[in-house]
Structure formats: structure tokens, C-alpha cells
Amino acid sequence: MSSQPAASPEPARVVVLGAGWWTQGWHCPHLSRHPHAIIAAVVDTSPTPRSAISELESLEALGARYGCPTFSSFDAVLEASVVFDGVIVCTSHASHAALGQRALAAGKHVLMEKPMTTDVEEARALAAAAAARPELFFAVNNTASWRPQAHAAAAWVKAGSVGRVRHVACVMHSPLLWLFDDPANVG
């Protein structure tokens, strides 16, 4: 056994696509506190992102808060030669497929907020693009997957503690009608 400490992994440099509620309330705060993550840039088409459920900071304020550049498009990030490893896609649902495809084509890892896309054919094409790049990480985020209860349930299934699983049904309720009524979220 070596007496030298293990090397710390290089921090993941992440471009956050979208500056809405999930970005400001979840992704950026968590990324900024993680010792192995750096927010490389924040992107939003609006300099003043909006939310139906909370007040949001401007894109300029987010850049100042997290010490990163901000951009109005993902293409602008790529043209500016920002060094980054992957993206978190948390934009309007209808834009997920194109941004995911663009990130994969640029050789970047992708964590995408749900829904993956708003169209079945787009989802199939995006899944195929991700499968064609096995060296890249691609996943659709579901924060419930990371909760202690989900890990415990997965461990019970893996250990055979609950018998043979033949069907699972899960219902999670949240007042999200406003989200589906937003015209920006149609594909």
C-alpha cells in the first residue's frame, strides 16, 4: 500500500444551460459548494430570466455570484473557446433535444433535466447520439433517484430482500400545472 495520498480528481467544469428556477435554486448552489465542480459558464437567452414561482437573479448577477462568464447562447460558449467538460441542460423543454445533440457533438458530457425531450422521435435520436458516444456521460436527471430512500430501495432489490420485483409503480405529486401551461414548454 502506498503511503502517498490519493490524488484529488480534477474538478468537473460545467456549463449550465438555462438560468431559471432549477438553475438558480438547485444546480448552481450545489455546483458552487461541490469541491470537485466548477461553474464554467451560465447561459440563458434572456438577460433577465423569469419564473412563475420565485424572483430570479439576472444573468449578469449570476455571473458575478458564481465568478463565471455568462452567454446568451450555447453557440456563443463554443465560439468563445470556454474550457469545460459537460453541460447541465435546464432550459425550456422544447430546447432540450437540440442542446443535448449539440453538446454531444462537441464531445461534452450531458446531464439533462427532465423531460429529455418533448417529442418521441427527438428522444430516440438523442438516445442514439448518446449511445454513439460511449465515452461520454449522458443522463436525464431525476433528483428523486439520489434520495436516501431511493438508494435504500435499490439496495433491497439488489440484495434480493424484497423478492423478485415484477412491477413498480411510483406516484409523486406536485402542483405543476403552471409548468405545462407555459407556451415555451411545448415541442
Residue 46's nearest CA partner among 21, 23, 70, 72 is 72
Residue 76 CB: number of other CB atoms within 10 A?
Answer: 14
What is the reported pLDDT for 179?
53
Per-residue pLDDT at 185 exceeds 60: no
pLDDT tens figures, 34-48: 999 999 999 999 999
Residue 187's pLDDT band (cuts 50, 70, 90): very low
Q: What is the pLDDT of residues 113-161, one digit of tens each?
A: 998 998 899 999 999 999 999 999 999 988 777 778 888 988 999 999 9
Cα–Cα distance for residue pair 48/57, rounded to 1 Å: 7
pLDDT at position 146: 74
Report the side by side order of strands in the sheet with 86-89: 70-71, 37-43, 12-17, 86-89, 109-113, 138-141
Output the pTM of the full model.
Answer: 0.80
Burial class (CB in 10 A: 0-12, 13-18, 19+), 71: buried
Specify whether the CB–CB gap between 130 and 104 falls below 8 A. yes
Is the pLDDT at 100 greater than 60? The verdict is yes
Least confident of 15-24, 101-110, 148-157: 148-157
The whole-chain average pLDDT of the chain stands at 88
Over the chain, what HEC string results?
CCCCCCCCCCCEEEEEECCCHHHHHHHHHHHHHCCCEEEEEEECCCCCCCCCCCCCCCHHHHHHHHCCCEECCHHHHHHCCCCCCEEEECCCHHHHHHHHHHHHHCCCEEEEECCCCCCHHHHHHHHHHHHCCCCCCEEEECHHHHCHHHHHHHHHHHHCCCCCCCCCCCCCCCCCHHHHCCHHHCC
pLDDT recorded at residue 5? 63
